[in-house]
Structure 1
């Protein structure tokens, strides 16, 4: 039963993420090779995005020792749960990053400050500063704690315990480089 549930989740994730991230976004012009990814030929489905999703998922599963692959991917999902869209490149993740949770909390305060400087009235729907502060603290806690080494013999993988942290932040850095090339350098 567990295997069938996992299989169904994987199939749904590959189909949904392949369609949304690789088929709908190219239609809007977010990728350089948008004609290839936006095509629904020959079967009326986004075959190229689904195949890309499949091969990258298989790569993520094959790249690590069998006993560690599952734990690594679960860890990778949880730490920075990296940026839904960005980390679909390596695994179909549909979450938000703690990096972005922290940025949202800081952004709330920056937007409030800008509204005051411009002379706009405060919004009717406001989160209390204490709530935003607690939200920021929880995001920072979830970013920092995975770097603290576990007690000897209590790690869930046979390789370095923070590999998933480095992998997640590395993907985020690659996405930043891609953004810089696409938005700043090329135009």
Structure 2
């Protein structure tokens, strides 16, 4: 009898613990976009078509952006961005990592959103820089999580050695200026693995 009680107690303790799960990024329901500014006040919106990522059981979130999937709406500009700015033949991806604790996810009520400042790291052009990412995290359902930027994260080309590429783009398009500072926004949808 004592063995049965001990087993039931252990089982109840186990069931009351937060459920550790891996969350996979859904590319079709996710987007990372950025705005470039040329000629001082002409802004254009672009995005990436291919993202991969996951939130691991230890809370580490990682999103890989395929830079060759950049989509500016103009094919020749896509080619120039890939070849001159991102140099995708050498650096095919940008990677952002951060941590979202499983405790935070488990305690988030269904259909509720909560603001969280993620401390992240961006790897781009073989350089790494810490970034602060203000986000909303929404538990859409028990199996769907959305992580959305509250405001754009400003990425400066100089921090990642991309200013030469910006200069090349400016020259080939005969533009008086292209801003080195680029606001980046995102909506990331993660699906819980069963």
TM-score (norm 2): 0.20
Between Structure 1 and Structure 2, the one with more helix by share is: 1
Between Structure 1 and Structure 2, the one with more strand by share is: 2
